[in-house]
């Protein structure tokens, strides 16, 4: 599922009210760590996003400052999570790939438990493999 580009607070409000689980990346065009981790966020969205159940979105704090203020953004990147329209009590601050992966997979497991179609990459190890890699190079345990 593609990452939704949030361009207004109203769009954000609609998204979190219409989608049970949402992961949001606060970033800026000038932020090097944001640029470094964004491709990983996109991969997680493609692997774990479930239409109308688990959305991945991002916004530029310079373009939507009222949303940055409302969320209390203090450093970039920061990843916020919403459940049933409410900001969760957990987030990921900084370009921390292991923490981001763990958190988005935990939310995916909640989606699955609630009847959605997502499963974590820990349960589907093949979803992060490069399809262009010859099968002979794959380990037999996968």
Q: How far apart are the first and last CA of the chain?
A: 24
- Answer yes or no: 34 catalytic: yes
Q: Which of 31, 50, 55, 100 is catalytic?
A: 31
Token digits for 54? 């688990």
Q: Which residue is it, tokens 């954000």?
A: 12
Indicate if the alpha-carbon torsion angle 23, 99, 29, 46 is positive or negative: negative
The strand pair at 54-60 and 21-27 is best described as parallel
- 62-89 as b/e, with b when 16 or more CB fall inside 10 Å? eebeebbeebebeebbbbbbbbeeebbe
The one catalytic residue in 34, 67, 111, 118 is: 34
Active site residues: 31, 34
């Amino acid at each position: 599922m593609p990452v939704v580009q949030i361009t207004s607070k109203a769009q954000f409000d609609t998204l979190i009210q219409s989608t049970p689980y949402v992961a949001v990346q606060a970033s800026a065009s000038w932020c090097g760590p944001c640029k470094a981790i964004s491709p990983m966020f996109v991969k997680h969205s493609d692997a774990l996003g479930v239409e109308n159940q688990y959305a991945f979105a991002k916004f530029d704090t310079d373009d939507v400052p009222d949303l940055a203020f409302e969320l209390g953004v203090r450093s970039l990147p920061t990843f916020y999570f919403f459940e049933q329209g409410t900001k969760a009590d957990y987030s990921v601050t900084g370009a921390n790939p292991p923490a981001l992966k763990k958190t988005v997979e935990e939310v995916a497991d909640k989606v699955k438990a609630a009847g959605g179609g997502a499963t974590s990459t820990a349960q589907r190890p093949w979803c992060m493999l490069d399809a262009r890699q010859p099968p002979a190079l794959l380990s037999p345990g996968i």
